[in-house]
Amino acid sequence: MAKSKNHTGQHEQKKNHRNGIKKQRKERKATSKGLYRPWKTNSKYAKKGTLKAMKEAAQKQE
């Protein structure tokens, strides 16, 4: 019995380049998984305080 062919790359490069090889799209927001936990917690409260200060400043201007 003859051996069967396991793989061929014939015509694959042409097919891949037909529509162009494109870079993978990046996610809009980077994941925070695996970041230093205390920094993440502090960052959350810092953002909250900044928004509060901005609201107060906007009210003073009016």
Per-block average pLDDT, block size 10, for the chain (62 residues)? 83 92 86 90 94 92 82
Domain count, the chain: 1
Q: Which domain holds residue 57?
A: 37-62
Domain assignment of residue 53, yes or no: yes
Domain assignment of residue 45, yes or no: yes
Q: Are 32 and 40 in contact (CB under 8 A)?
A: yes
Helices (H), 1-62: 12-18, 37-61
Predicted local distance difference test score (pLDDT) of residue 50: 94
Q: What is the pTM of this model?
A: 0.44
Domain assignment of residue 4, yes or no: no
Domain assignment of residue 8, yes or no: no
Contacts with 32 (C-beta within 8 Å, 6 or more apart), sequence order = 40
Domain assignment of residue 55, yes or no: yes
